[in-house]
Copies of this chain bind each other. A is one copy, B any other.
Amino acid sequence: MNRTPTIDDVAALAGVGRTTVSRVLNGSPKVSPEVRERVLKTVETLNYKVNRQARALAGGRMHMLALVYASDLDTEPNSFYYSGLELGALRACTELGFNLMTQAVNQNADNTAEQILDMIDARRCDGLILSPPFSDDLELLAQINQRNFPVICISSGAGSQALASGVGIDDEAAGYDVACYLIGVGHRRFGFIRGPERHVSADDRFTGFLRALTANGLAGEAYVAERGNFTFHSGVEAFPALYNASLRPTAIICGNDDMAVGAMFSAHRMGLDIPGDISIVGFDDTPVSEIVWPPLTTVRHPVKQIGYEAVRMLHERDQATSAAAAPQSSVIPHAVVARESVSAPCER
C-alpha cells in the first residue's frame, strides 16, 4: 500500500517534529538552516505536496481570490475585456502565491448579490474582485462591508469608491480626451453609442464627451446618441440610426471596442468607406481593435494592468495588520491610440 505522503511522513523520515516541517513549508525564519535543509531534502525524496484542503481548514485561509464577471452563459463568450483582466490578475496571483478562481454570474438573474455573497459566506475565497456592473452595486458593497470582507472594485464610479477600494482609468477624462482628439482632427458632428444603463463608467465616458463639446463651444445639438449593451450586435444595430440621423455625424464614438467593431460592420454593409465616409472610434483598446480592418482608433484601457493592480491591492490589505482601512482608489493612465479608422471629415 502506497498512500500519498503526509506531513507526518516527512517529519518522521527527517527525524523532526511535525511543527518544524510546517515551519519550513511556510518559510518561517525560526528554524535552523541545517534542519531546514534536511526537511527540504526529505520533501523532495518523498515528493510530498501539502494538502491544500487540510491547510485551508486548519489555517482558516485558502489563499484564493475570486474574479467575478458578468456572463450570460448563453450568449457570446466574454469579450477580451474580461480575458485581459483575468490574465493580469493571474500573473499577480502567481507572483504573490495566490490562487485565482473566476466566477461567472448571470447579470440577468434576480439574485446576483446573493450569488456573490454566497462566495463569502460559503468561504469559497478570501478576497473578491468585482468587475462591472457588479462593482457599482452599492447595495451589494454595503453587504460585503458588513461582513468586513476584502474586496476590490474594477472601474467603479464615485458612489462605489466611497464604499470600497477600486482600480480603473478616469473614464470621464478619457471620454473628454477622445472627443477633443476628434474635434482636433476637424469633426463637429458626432454620434455616440453609449453603454448599458447602470454601467457607471460607461456613463462617465459619455459625460466626458459632453464636457468636451461644451469646452469647445459645441454645446447644443452637435451630437446624436443611442444606447447599446456593449456587444457587437448592439453596435451593428445602433449604427444605421446614428448615420442616417438628420444631423449626419462625421464621427461615431462607441462606448467600447466591441460596439465599435459592430458599427464598422454596419458601415461596411452599407457600402461606406471607413474613415473616408465616416470615422469610428472605440474604447478599451482590446485585441479586436488591432485585427479589424481598418485598425480601430480607440482609447487605451490597460485592463491587464488593472487586473494585476487589483490583486496587488488585495494582497496589501491581506498583509496589513489593522483590520479595515479607508477605501483607496488607484487610477491607471489612459491614452488615445490613433490607428486608421479616423480621418478628417470629408465635407460634401
- A residues near B, CB below 8 A? 4, 47, 49-54, 56-57, 62, 71, 73, 76-78, 80, 83-84, 86-87, 90-91, 94, 101-102, 104, 118, 121-124, 232, 261-262, 264-265, 268, 287-288, 290-294
Contacts of A261 in B (CB 8 A): 291
- Do the beta carbons of B293 and A265 come within 8 Å of each other? yes
- Shortest A222–chain B CB gap in Å is 29
- Do the beta carbons of B123 and A53 come within 8 Å of each other? yes
Given A77-B84, A102-B102, A121-B4, CB of A57 within 8 Å of CB of B49: no
Contacts of A123 in B (CB 8 A): 4, 49, 51-53
Contacts of A83 in B (CB 8 A): 77-78, 83
Select A47's contact among B54, B87, B121, beta carbons within 8 Å.
B121
- Do the beta carbons of A262 and B291 come within 8 Å of each other? yes
Copies of this chain held together in the complex: 2
- Do the beta carbons of B291 and A49 come within 8 Å of each other? no
- Do the beta carbons of B124 and A291 come within 8 Å of each other? no
The 5 A-B pairs at the shortest CB distance, nearest first, are namely A77-B83, A49-B122, A53-B56, A268-B293, A53-B57
**C-alpha spacing A150/B284, complex, angstroms:** 40
Contacts of A90 in B (CB 8 A): 73, 104
**C-alpha spacing A232/B288, complex, angstroms:** 10
Select A292's contact among B54, B94, B291, beta carbons within 8 Å.
B291
- Shortest A37–chain B CB gap in Å is 22
**Would you mind naming 16 contact pairs between A and B with Cβ atoms under 8 Å apart?**
A4-B123, A49-B122, A50-B122, A53-B57, A53-B123, A71-B87, A73-B90, A73-B91, A76-B287, A77-B84, A77-B287, A78-B83, A83-B83, A102-B102, A262-B291, A288-B288
- Do the beta carbons of B62 and A57 come within 8 Å of each other? no
**C-alpha spacing A54/B52, complex, angstroms:** 11
- Do the beta carbons of A52 and B124 come within 8 Å of each other? yes
- Shortest A200–chain B CB gap in Å is 24
- Shortest A299–chain B CB gap in Å is 18
Which residue of chain B has its CB nearest to the CB of A71? B87
Given A52-B123, A291-B261, A291-B288, CB of A77 within 8 Å of CB of B76: no
